[in-house]
A and B are shown apart, each in its own frame.
Chain A
Amino acid sequence: MHVSQATNTQHAAETEHVLLHHFGDLEQQRQSATLGMWVFLITEIMFFGGLFAGYMIYRLAFFNAFAAGSNTLDLRLGAINTAVLIASSLTMALAVHAAQIGARKKTVLYLLGTIVLGLVFLGIKVVEYADKFEHHHVPGQYFEFQEPVSLAHGEQAQGEHAQSRIDPRHAELFFGFYFAMTGMHALHMIIGVGILAVLTFLAWRGRYGPQYHTPVHNVGLYWHFVDIVWIFLFPLLYLISRHG
């Protein structure tokens, strides 16, 4: 390890300003921060993983109920949200690149774009949740679930002997997982938006440039992770038995 010799005095000043005392040089600091973010994301994978594992177990056990629950979710809104998040990952990546090349205005712009898209996602989620409340699909005391008359497999109800194939308790389980999974995800997004706001402010103040843009890079990692969680959530929750 060697102390990097910065020839540009302005960069040297930047280096002195941002190099923390316990690190030998900026490169060590950058690598440590990035490794730290990766390790943190691994803990997040384990956290969501436990939730996903529970979901998969019950989905296999109570497939029909879960399919019925899934079919009440708004596919269009879910798809729009997926597109919104993917777009926000794009703007995030562009923000990281802009910070890398020292384009301050673009950095701020792309970060703002990411925030806006994140807020759009959250807004749509609010709409979806409100719909759940209206239909009494929130688990708990007031939960009610009526299976739609035409079933996913196209069967017709048979006279007065037609009974629900779905146990509403199992549908309640689906919605329990729905809220837990999307709620956890939304919480991570809200925190992400908050962090992005701080990042945007600091970027506007000229804090990031070619010598130092680690926070932008690492927040980008976090944001991409939150996006990937949704990429798994969407098919798992929204797309059960949607064919036919």
Chain B
Amino acid sequence: MATVTHAIETRNYLNSDYGLKSWLLTTDHKRIAILYLVTITAFFFIGGFFAMLIRLELLTPAGDLVQADTYNKLFTMHGIMMIFFFLIPSVPAVLGNFLVPMMVGAKDLAFPKINLLSWYLLVLGGLLTLFSIVAGGVDTGWTFYTPFSTTFSNTYVTGAALGIFVAGFSSILTGLNFIVTVHRMRAPGLTWGRLPLFIWANYATAIIQILGTPVLAITIVLVALERAFHIGIFDPNLGGDPLLFQHLFWFYSHPAVYIMILPSMGVISEIIPCFSRKRIFGYHFVALSSVAIAVFGFLVWAHHMFVAGMSVYAAIIFSFLSYSVAVPSAIKVFNWTSTMYRGSIYYHTPMLYALGFIGLFTIGGVTGLFLASLGMDVHVHDTYFVVAHFHYIMVGGAIMGYLGGLHFWWPKITGRMYPEAWGKIAAATVFVGFNLTFFPQFVVGYLGMPRRYYQYVSEYQVLNVLSTAGASILAVGYLIPMIYFLWSLRYGAPAPANPWNAVGLEWMTPSPPPTYNFETTPVVTWEAYDYRKMPAIEEAPVAR
């Protein structure tokens, strides 16, 4: 077991300046990443609290924990907090902000002040939404279907919608920053074909953020106008069409799910090569599959509307296109798996999360194939089958990727090692808890249990009890890293510059890095993931 004497504290981005102002007015992308980390963690626990209440209510068939209206607000706010204020920022705003400049060899993102602005916008949006929660809540579902949301709901729809509107600009500005950075600020020699796959993934995500989020913005504006002035744009009583809302809404919200998953896929593409000690299998295919997902993701939105009253022919086209999006995702899974073939595998916590991601994303992805099949979707649409599908992708996929990335880059970000044994325990807890929570939901969904139901027929109870039991385990699995990450800030072993002997420009800086990342701009002459010349991973240093 290697022991490391405490390093003399050098100047890095964390201690270069002290005081609240130096954090709240920072333009350093690394500090902004930390600001985001704290903010979205808070939002995650708020959203998670709502989830806990939902699962507690669903322990019994009767609606006995909360009232119906309260339950409707719970699932609405759970969805809104998790999607807009946790998942969409998570990897890009925390890991992306921290790493994108470093991975391309730059001193910062292209527009540091806009980066800070985008954090403030997320905070403002979050506060507006939280105000709506505290003032009485929203009960429209995160999907805001009309005419319920425009004409019938008497909750704080406009307040919550405004919060999402503002948060949307946070997302747009992050995407804008990443696109310009990747195009204009790569170090000399860093061609597109040498970029880390994490960059490719965040770049593809940024394209979606740029093109999709504005459509959500205008949709929200129209809902607000409709609520205020009853123009009639979505209300059939006034000549409007409620399906127009669905088209506009899903035009963003389908690509939004790729905003949520692509960056995590980029994390996996970094972790697997490192802990297999070899270059990723099929680099170009993985890189281009990210772009393909971004492009095809814009062509499939109406697969959320197969039973909504669309024309049969439109439905057939969207079903066909939905399968096209599945192919690049399958390509990634096969390439990740093949990377491990004849590699040299380590079982560190990031790798456990990455392996969990592949396993669970595969299940989530194949159940998407069920949903894309029209005759199948008619039965399972708006049932727990769909709920299980997207939680497999978002929680089993995206969140595990995020946690894996947090562990992988924690030493770089904080200069500390997290406790490896606890990391493994938490990863296993999350995996077990997750599957127990969501696998029964596939079954109960096919049996016919609709979603957004707070009371249900007694024959669904066993599966719901299993699901709630799993959720309590999952909650523990999420709490453990919270605790040891905080613990590590003070008591964790000091981290070397490259604890995993990983390849990448970010690992060529100290842990934590100095404010300006690189003394001089590096010149890149090597291909990505050249693990052939890297030594084995040493035993991670442990705190005394």
| A contact set with B: CB distance below 8 Å | 1, 21-24, 28, 31-32, 35-36, 39-40, 42-44, 46-51, 53-54, 57-58, 61-62, 139-141, 167, 169-170, 172-173, 175-177, 180, 184
- B379 interfacial contact with A, CB 8 Å: no
Which among B183, B213, B231 is the interface contact of A172 at CB below 8 angstroms?
B231
Q: Is the CB of A50 within 8 A of B214?
A: yes
Asked if A36 meets B180 with Cβ closer than 8 Å, knowing A46-B211, A180-B221, the reply is yes
Min CB distance, A62 to chain B, in Å?
Answer: 7
Min CB distance, B513 to chain A, in Å?
Answer: 14
Q: Is the CB of B244 within 8 A of A22?
A: no
Q: Is the CB of A47 within 8 A of B248?
A: no
- B108 interfacial contact with A, CB 8 Å: yes
Interface range, B side:
35 or more
Q: Is the CB of B214 within 8 A of A43?
A: yes
Report how far A184 CA is from B214 CA in the complex, Å.
13
| B contact set with A: CB distance below 8 Å | 101, 106-112, 114, 172, 176-177, 179-181, 183-185, 188, 210-215, 217-219, 221-222, 225, 228-233, 238-241, 244, 248, 251, 516, 521
Report how far A22 CA is from B516 CA in the complex, Å.
8
Q: Is the CB of A172 within 8 A of B248?
A: no
Q: Is the CB of A173 within 8 A of B240?
A: yes
Q: Is the CB of B225 within 8 A of A176?
A: yes
Q: Is the CB of B219 within 8 A of A172?
A: no
Q: Is the CB of B214 within 8 A of A39?
A: no
Chain A residues with CB under 8 Å of B180's CB are 32, 35-36, 39
Interface SS majority for chain A: helix
For B181, the closest partner residue in chain A by CB is: A32
18 further A-B contacts with Cβ under 8 Å, apart from A43-B210, A50-B251, are A22-B108, A22-B185, A32-B180, A32-B185, A35-B179, A35-B180, A36-B114, A39-B210, A42-B210, A47-B215, A49-B214, A49-B215, A54-B222, A61-B241, A139-B229, A172-B238, A173-B232, A180-B225
Report how far A57 CA is from B109 CA in the complex, Å.
40
Report how far A242 CA is from B150 CA in the complex, Å.
34
Q: Is the CB of A43 within 8 A of B176?
A: yes
Q: Is the CB of A39 within 8 A of B176?
A: yes
Chain B residues with CB under 8 Å of A184's CB are 221
Q: Is the CB of A139 within 8 A of B230?
A: yes
Q: Is the CB of A46 within 8 A of B215?
A: yes
Which among B176, B217, B233, B244 is the interface contact of A36 at CB below 8 angstroms?
B176
Q: Is the CB of B230 within 8 A of A54?
A: no
Chain A residues with CB under 8 Å of B177's CB are 36
Chain A residues with CB under 8 Å of B110's CB are 32, 36
Q: Is the CB of A51 within 8 A of B231?
A: no
Q: Is the CB of B185 within 8 A of A180?
A: no
Min CB distance, B295 to chain A, in Å?
Answer: 15
Q: Is the CB of B183 within 8 A of A35?
A: yes
Q: Is the CB of A62 within 8 A of B239?
A: yes
Chain A residues with CB under 8 Å of B251's CB are 50
Min CB distance, B202 to chain A, in Å?
Answer: 15
Report how far A79 CA is from B387 CA in the complex, Å.
53
Asked if A21 meets B107 with Cβ closer than 8 Å, knowing A47-B215, A47-B218, A169-B238, the reply is yes
Chain A residues with CB under 8 Å of B217's CB are 47
Min CB distance, B170 to chain A, in Å?
Answer: 13
Report how far A167 CA is from B236 CA in the complex, Å.
13
For A169, the closest partner residue in chain B by CB is: B239
Chain B residues with CB under 8 Å of A172's CB are 231-232, 238-239
